[in-house]
Chains A and B, each alone.
Chain A
Amino acid sequence: MQLELRNVSTKVGSEFHITDVSLAFEAGTLNILLGATLSGKTSLMRLMAGLDQPTSGKIYVRGKDVTGVAVQKRNVAMVYQQFINYPNLTVYENIASPLRIAKVAKNIVDEKVAKVSTLLKLDNLLQRKPQELSGGQQQRTALARALIKGAELVLLDEPLANLDYKLREELREELPRIFAETGAVFVYATTEPSEALLLGGNTVSLHEGRVTQFGATIDVFSKPANLITARTLSDPPLNTLPVIKFNNKMMYKSHVEIPLIGRLPDLPDDDYTIAFRPHHLCLTRKFDSMISVKAKVVVAEITGSESFIHIDVAGMRWVVLAQGIHNLDINETIEVFLDPSKFYVFDRNEQLVVTPETVPGI
């Protein structure tokens, strides 16, 4: 199975909901659709499933044009955020239901349910009813039903969003193994960058109905092609600093001067945005080349082993992620230190022009 979208757009009235999306997903891969609410994740999934038809563009399955083919005629399974099971059927019958509808012989049903329930660790719960299960087990049941059909395309729309944090963590750990074993194309929608990074696979970064980047998740994270992708993949949020390069100087207003080291001297004079991650903004000077900036503490949050310090720098909001416990008072003036070797620099069109020196392979 290979799924391909070629220049797909949808229009409602005069407004584009999906704009010129081209993507190709290979068999046995996990593909994450990452973006904020209303970025087009569910719309794209509905197009892939055949629930909606594109206004323009084509959809291919294994090279064959399936645009316009109804969902019933495609080999697709979908799992939603709100797990859906038959409340009066046992877990076994819930999982077996697509095979029952297809009138599959009993011994084959037994065999397939046994296999998929082992994969999803439901084998001890087969005689229970859904309401006797935890949320995580219910979602696993819904997932098992999607897998047992042997669908070539499995679409998961924020499947973990309604689950407890820790249950999510467990399922997230198991999902890549399950995905790898079935050989289908998996498409997985989420709003959470941390979920994408934990799952790995490939990520499609979405913004306002457009694909801003597609690639291996860790590559999209470490080498975002543009500022919007960098923001979409960052949690905690990325810190940004708009600067002007002119006359061998790089300045943010008159507050911050960025020394021209590394690849910065090669950039032509223009407007740029410097971006860096919260754990690369420090409370102490770790080496000489760090840039000192005065900031005012907005609020400090402690997570147990780390602190998030929200600061105000000449009207901009940044976050420092520091090891250890730092109880800083609101409005306290502090000095923070930027590490220029960790800078991402984006040009005036928000395209990446400089990557941190430590990102391998560049």
Chain B
Amino acid sequence: MANITLKDIAHSYTGESKNPDDFALKKLDLTWRDGGAYALLGPSGCGKTTLLNIISGLLHPTRGEVLFDDQDITDLPTEQRNIAQIFQFPVIYDTMTVFQNLAFPLKNRGRSRKEIEPRVIELAKILGLEKNLYTKAQHLTADSKQKISLGRGLIRKSVNAILFDEPLTVIDPQLKWELRSQLKFLHKKFGFTMIYVTHDQTEALTFADEVIVMYEGKIVQVGTPEALFEKPEHTFVGYFIGSPGMNVCPCDLQKDRIFIEKYELALNKIYGEVDPSSKIEVGIRPEHLSLAPPDTTGLPVKIIKVDDIGRHKIVRVALKDKEFNVVAPELSGMTGDSCSLIFDIDHTNIYVNDHLISGERM
């Protein structure tokens, strides 16, 4: 068990280069605390799997060092790093029983039966595999097989970290809920450092205490699920997290107010002077917008479309040619095609060239 530090790490698949575009992973510094639950979240090609493989030792970084506590392990091969990795598809022995599969990592390291048996049984119980302990893995369903993979990752108490690379992709939605809550429970119970790679925001946010959002080879934000939702530091984070994502709309900024399509909106913060040539945008989540009858205080908008997705409605509205998504509760009766759009000022963020700027509270 150790803190894992990535120091000035960068990686190019074509080797050292002067061209920054060659780097799938741009320069980054990051420390993973021992026992933390982390998620690496981003779209395909953002560098998240590259980063995972550098930690596990499957890839040697072009630049920088990997440290376990103070020890430089950059040149250490995977098998000496004491890290467990769980992949998208179950990696198990089909002809072995569940018990044999779970026991394998311990047996392989010469542990005694006396030590192995209680551990296997304990883990099988937590994973809900105890009824199938003596069944061959090939007779089990996809989700049970993936549970065995998880179990094999968790069986050794001494691992430095457990890495998950999109482990729930092949699992049906209903079972995803079960497996996810089991993972979270296992983390709380055993206190392993867990790093979970996914492009699915729900999986990342529900699993992790801290989420690292990656975009085009860079880390754009590290934060708690709450911070990523309430205060996205980059418009990409706002867009990528939340469904639908944050509304981002060009505006003019004047100290404590903004103008969208000439309509004025008073804020509760004062912002400093911003270079007029930069891109200024307002960001607000659909959950922080609401609709009121027309001609009340609010911006006059037209309703373009209402999607009833069960638990709530997603209403698409237009202020001239600027469109916004609004999340409305399930029972709101929407009639007519025009209404007033109300901003929750406490949750209205201002972005300059895609980066969040902070104002002074009034």
Contact = CB atoms under 8 A, between A and B. Distances in A.
Interface of A: 36-37, 134-135, 164-167, 169, 191-194, 197-198, 200, 218, 221-222, 231, 233, 235-237, 277, 279, 298-299, 301-305, 308, 310, 319, 325, 330, 358
Contacts of B188: 299, 330
B21 interface: no
A310 B180 CA distance: 11
B311 interface: yes
Interface in B196-254: 199-202, 205-207, 224-226, 228-230, 239-245
Interface stretch (B76-84, B114-122, B169-177, B274-282): B169-177
A302 B206 contact: yes
B362 interface: no
Contacts of B71: none
Interface string B145-185: 00000000000000000000000000011100100110011
A37 B243 contact: no
Contacts of B43: 164, 166-167
A216 to B, nearest CB: 10
Interface of B: 43-44, 142, 172-174, 177, 180-181, 184-185, 188-189, 199-202, 205-207, 224-226, 228-230, 239-245, 285, 287, 307-311, 331
Contacts, number: 91
A298 B309 contact: no
B309 A277 contact: no
A310 B181 contact: yes
A145 to B, nearest CB: 22
Contact of B44 (A135, A192, A299): A135
30 contacts: A134-B44, A135-B44, A164-B43, A166-B199, A166-B245, A169-B244, A169-B245, A191-B172, A193-B173, A197-B310, A198-B307, A200-B307, A231-B174, A237-B174, A237-B177, A279-B311, A298-B181, A299-B181, A299-B185, A301-B184, A301-B205, A302-B205, A303-B206, A303-B225, A303-B229, A304-B226, A304-B228, A304-B230, A308-B206, A330-B188
Contact of B199 (A164, A197, A308, A319): A164
Contacts of B207: 301
A257 B168 CA distance: 38
Contacts of A36: 172, 174
A221 B310 CA distance: 7
B225 A302 contact: yes
A134 B44 CA distance: 9
Listed residue (A36, A197, A235, A303) with the most chain B CB atoms within 10 angstroms of its CB: A303
Contact of B181 (A37, A301, A305): A301
A167 B42 CA distance: 12
A303 B307 contact: no
Nearest to A232: B174
Contact of B229 (A192, A304, A310): A304
Contacts of A237: 174, 177
Contacts of A301: 180-181, 184, 205-207
Given A166-B43, A218-B308, A304 B240 contact: no
Given A218-B308, A235-B174, A310-B181, A37 B142 contact: yes
B309 A197 contact: yes
A169 B185 CA distance: 30
Contacts of B285: 305
Contact of A299 (B184, B229, B244, B308): B184
Contact of A191 (B173, B287, B311): B173
Contact of A298 (B172, B185, B225): B185
Contacts of A236: 177
A166 B240 contact: yes
Please list the 5 inter-chain residue pairs (A to B) with the smallest Cβ-Cβ separation, ordered nearest first: A304-B229, A301-B206, A197-B309, A304-B225, A164-B199
